Amino acid sequence: MPHDGRVVYGQIILLGTNGDVQPKCCNPRALSKLTLYQRKIANGVDPGPVTVVPDYKSSAAVRSASRHCISYTVGRSNTVVVEYLQNPNIDQFQLGRCAAPVIDFVLADSNPNFDDQPDDAVTPRAMDKSNGRFINFRSRIPKASREPLSSTVSRFACRINVNRNPPHEARIYAAGFDMQRNIFLGERAIKWRHEQMMDGFTTNGVRILRPQTEEGNPGNRSSQNFEIAESPWREVSVCGRIYKLYSNLFVPKECDELPEDNVLEDGTLIDLSGAILLWRSGDSLSKNLTHEELAYMVSILNQTHVQCPVLYRTLRFDNHFLDPSTKSPLHSTDVSGGSNLTCATFGNRQPFVYLNCGHVHGWHPWRHRNDPNDRSADRTCPLCRQASRFVPLTFGEEVAFYVDHGPPTHCFNPCGHIASEATVR
């Protein structure tokens, strides 16, 4: 799909960010989505010559900063080095937690090493001069010297190779090349040799879930009569082969390899052990919903003057995301006063839905089954008397999740985001 004279391969979206360009993270390069454009110069590589050396340090290809290599440590005295050669027909994109320039899509760390130490922290034991007691404080240790929290996303998690020629197929592989253009699978890494070719898994793993077909099974591009495994998720190896997903790490046998390819179909989910991504192809983006069309849908719904069936006030959908400089008061559920009359007269007009029955109302603080201040507690619907959660109806701000231009007639359970029936199902 051409865009401003450039070919768009597709887009990768990080789930859970709801359209934020840059998620709240300590890494300034972290993004919530990345559009893959055709590079000016191809940087893709393919497997080439294989050598066996006593140690990877003795390989000239590994020591060279201009050559791509994957090293498999088979034993203490044997290392298989696979050199990768330049392919002028492939563009390569890498994903991971590392902020180095070799990573195109820097993922937000799910456990950032944030600094919650106050600026006025003192020594571990300080004297309270008012009564002579000792007060315990946390030690003021520099942030860099503290033990970092463990991360669930690999620094070099995976790589995606896209064919520069139409139809621009995108293929996913586990692990990414580091700053020295190397990938190391050490002695403890899971690796094997099938058909005289080395392969392996990364520690955190790379898994994909293909979109559902009309028969309800994940798509399978290479075999139509293959019996689907129990889990629809698939494990991707360093060489891009597809394997069954098991609960524990294992060394796969040849029978565990599935007759499927590693091509990313539109709507494929990518699990990088903590960060789940959505792949949208370039063709789907050209037909996708735009923010202008989403704004039009919000405007049409607000013009219908939907009324709360109990409090009889007009409900309106929040559209503050269309103009970031304005913050709509519809999100607020804090109403001054506290009486039902005050809530009905001056309360917000955002629609809320009972998840079990689907009845839509305006916000009301009564009919809580437990704590009236607990918005997550079950309520009783005034119309059908069913008990369920009462959540606000809102439009998702990431248009890449919409699969068609249908009217917003359904919502997700339990978040309450509105979309078309095809998108929700």
Neighbours of 355 (CB within 10 A): 19
Q: Which of 104-113, 219-228, 300-309 has the lowest average pLDDT?
A: 219-228
- Looking at the DSSP bridge assignments, the partners of residue 184 are 71
Domain annotation covers residue 387: yes
The pLDDT of residue 321 is: 54
Entry pTM: 0.77
Q: Judge if 54 and 105 occupy the same domain.
A: yes
Same domain, 294 and 173: no
Judge if 265 and 280 occupy the same domain: yes
Residues whose CB falls within 8 Å of the CB of residue 180, separated by 6 or more in sequence, listed in order: 65
Same domain, yes or no: 166 and 252: yes
- Counted domains in the chain: 2
Same domain membership, residue 262 and residue 385: no
Domain membership of residue 166 as a residue range: 8-111+153-219+227-285
pLDDT of res. 87: 97
How buried is residue 43: exposed, middle or buried, by Cβ count under 10 Å (0-12/13-18/19+)?
A: middle
| Helix H or strand E encompassing 269 | strand 269-271
Given a cut of 90, whether residue 44 has pLDDT beyond it is yes
Residue 353 lies in a domain: yes
Separation in Å, CA 197 to CA 44, 71, 216: 20, 12, 34
Residue 121 lies in a domain: no
Least confident range from 35-39, 55-59, 306-310, 374-378: namely 374-378
Q: Residue 139 pLDDT > 80, yes or no?
A: no
Residue 118 lies in a domain: no
User: What share of the chain has pLDDT > 70, as a percent?
Assistant: 71
Residues 257-269, mean pLDDT to the nearest whole number: 94
Higher pLDDT, 188 or 376: 188
- What mean pLDDT comes out for the span 21-25? 59
Identify whether 399 is part of a domain: yes
Residues 353 and 393 in one domain: yes
In-domain check, residue 12? yes
Residues 263 and 389 in one domain: no
Residue with tokens 């559920």: 333
Residue pair 17/40 in contact by the 8 Å Cβ criterion: no
Residues 235 and 312 in one domain: no
What's the mean per-residue pLDDT of the chain? 77
In a shared domain, residues 236 and 318: no
Distance separating alpha carbons of residues 364 and 310, to the nearest angstrom: 10
The verdict on 414 and 271 lying in the same domain is no
Based on the fold, state whether residues 247 and 357 are members of the same structural domain.
no
One domain for residues 356 and 406: yes
Domain membership of residue 144 (yes or no) is no
The sign of the dihedral angle between the CA atoms of 238, 244, 250, 252 is: negative
Q: Is the pLDDT of residue 380 over 90?
A: no
Highest mean pLDDT: which range of 52-61, 173-182, 303-312: 173-182
Mean pLDDT over residues 178-192, rounded? 91
DSSP label at 18?
Answer: T
Higher pLDDT, 228 or 284: 284
| 134 domain-assigned | no
Mean pLDDT of 386-393: 89
